[in-house]
Amino acid sequence: MTGSVCVREEIVTLAGWPTDVVRVDHCSSSSSSSSSSSASSSIRTAHTLLVFVPGNPGCIGWYIKNLAELVERLGPGFAARGVSYAGHSANASLTQVETKCGERDVSIPWTLDGQIQHKCEFLDYVLTEFRGPNNHEKMPGKPVQDKPRFLFLSHSIGSHMVERVCVLRPDILQRTHGVLHLMPFTRMDPASRWDKAKLDFAAAHPAALIGIGKCGMQCLRWLPMSMLDHIAKGAMDDAKDRDLAIRLLRQPTYARNFFELGTEEIRDVPEIVDVRTNLE
């Protein structure tokens, strides 16, 4: 808990895949109740939910501090929920898609359509949390519940996922009151011809890119943590952010998931049209 905000990091199963999620609720700092009961009170009174979907690499851990600061500044009535991608985690046991898939659908972590299904299940999970497990969205003779309303925050390919969810799920769109994309998807407008050439090469040779990525991360596992931390300081000031980045970089299984999804997004997203009309 930080100030008047309760932060809870959990692992929940979505679309068959254990996934990192975070809950951020406004709690009364003067309350004598436990964090859990105080957060439950916040759920009952929240009218607006900030829903954060990151870009690839889809790890919610980098954004928890920002979500907590937003909820704290906005005050009572606001809460936040964030979700990692399936197969994307600093927890190595959650990234072992190939070795521990069993009967689960590998297309969930490795494809855009699968990750979008995963986000739909996350939103269903969130709505169940706010409504309670025994309450339904619409009861006979009663209007559809209008709380909480959604305010989506996303960046990069996460923005595309949010748009797809709103198209595919009219019930989610109905309660969506805003969508804030924090960064454009670079595939649509590369900064230079060189950037475009790199993206085109990656899209055309996914197997080579995956192999290089896995090999590179395998090598990083042999470097001491102190050296990796020193290198990461050039890009990240926060020690927790650096720790998360280092733990990801030392996982070849994560590299496979990252590049499987990444090469599909730069190959296919520019060709996807998500507009439905009554002309069909």
Judged by DSSP in three states, 9 sits in strand
**H or E stretch including 172?**
helix 170-174
127/40 same-domain check = yes
Residue 77 domain-assigned? yes
96/226 same-domain check = no
Of 181, 213, 229, the last residue of a domain is: 181
Tell me how many domains the chain contains: 2
Of 181, 206, 230, the last residue of a domain is: 181
- The residue written with tokens 């994560």 in the block is 254
106/130 same-domain check = yes
Report which of residues 101 and 249 the model is more confident about.
249
62/98 same-domain check = yes
Strands 17-26 and 48-53: unpaired
User: Where residue 51 falls among pLDDT bands split at 50, 70, 90?
Assistant: very high
The CATH number of the domain holding residue 76 is 3.40.50.1820
Q: Is the pTM of this model over 0.75?
A: yes
Q: Measuring CA to CA, which residue among 17, 8, 149 is closest to residue 88?
A: 17
Q: What is the pLDDT of residue 41?
A: 54
Q: Residue 278: pLDDT above 50? A: no
172/62 same-domain check = yes
Q: What is the pLDDT of residue 136?
A: 47
Q: Which residues form the domain of 116?
A: 5-181
214/157 same-domain check = no
Q: Residue 142: pLDDT above 50? A: no
| Average pLDDT over the chain, rounded to an integer | 79
Residue 278 domain-assigned? no
15/132 same-domain check = yes
Residue 51 domain-assigned? yes
The neighbouring-strand residues paired with 48 are 78, 149
Q: What is the pLDDT of residue 280?
A: 43
- Tens of pLDDT along 192-249? 788 778 777 777 777 777 777 667 666 666 666 677 666 766 667 777 877 777 777 7
Report which of residues 170 and 275 the model is more confident about.
170
Q: What is the pLDDT of residue 9?
A: 95
User: For residues 156-171, b (16+ Cβ closer than 10 Å) or e, as one string?
Assistant: bbbbbbbbbbbebbee
User: Where residue 92 falls among pLDDT bands split at 50, 70, 90?
Assistant: confident
**Residue 90, token pair as written in the block:** 């600093």
User: Where residue 141 falls among pLDDT bands split at 50, 70, 90?
Assistant: very low
45/173 same-domain check = yes
Report which of residues 135 and 243 the model is more confident about.
243
Of 181, 214, 235, the last residue of a domain is: 181
Give the ranges where 34-156 is alpha helix by DSSP (H). 35-45, 64-74, 107-110, 112-131
Cβ-contact 84, 11 below 8 angstroms: no
Cβ-contact 260, 210 below 8 angstroms: yes
28/153 same-domain check = yes
Instruction: Give the whole-angstrom CA distance, residue 45 versus residue 148.
Output: 9
221/100 same-domain check = no
68/143 same-domain check = yes
Cis status of the peptide bond prior to 57, with omega within 30 of 0 = yes
Residue 173 domain-assigned? yes
Residue 115 domain-assigned? yes
Residue 206 domain-assigned? yes
Q: Which residues contact 123 (CB under 8 A, 6 or more apart)?
A: 51, 150, 165, 169, 172
Residue 158 domain-assigned? yes
Q: What is the pLDDT of residue 144?
A: 47
162/54 same-domain check = yes
Instruction: Give the whole-angstrom CA distance, residue 91 versus residue 85.
Output: 13
User: Would you call 262 exposed, middle or buried from its count of C-beta atoms within 10 A (0-12, 13-18, 19+)?
Assistant: buried
- Tens of pLDDT along 153-188? 998 889 889 999 999 999 999 999 999 887 656 655
Judged by DSSP in three states, 114 sits in helix
Instruction: Give the whole-angstrom CA distance, residue 119 versus residue 109.
Output: 11
The neighbouring-strand residues paired with 230 are none
Residue 214 domain-assigned? yes
Range in 24-38, 75-89, 117-131, 256-270 the model is least confident about: 24-38
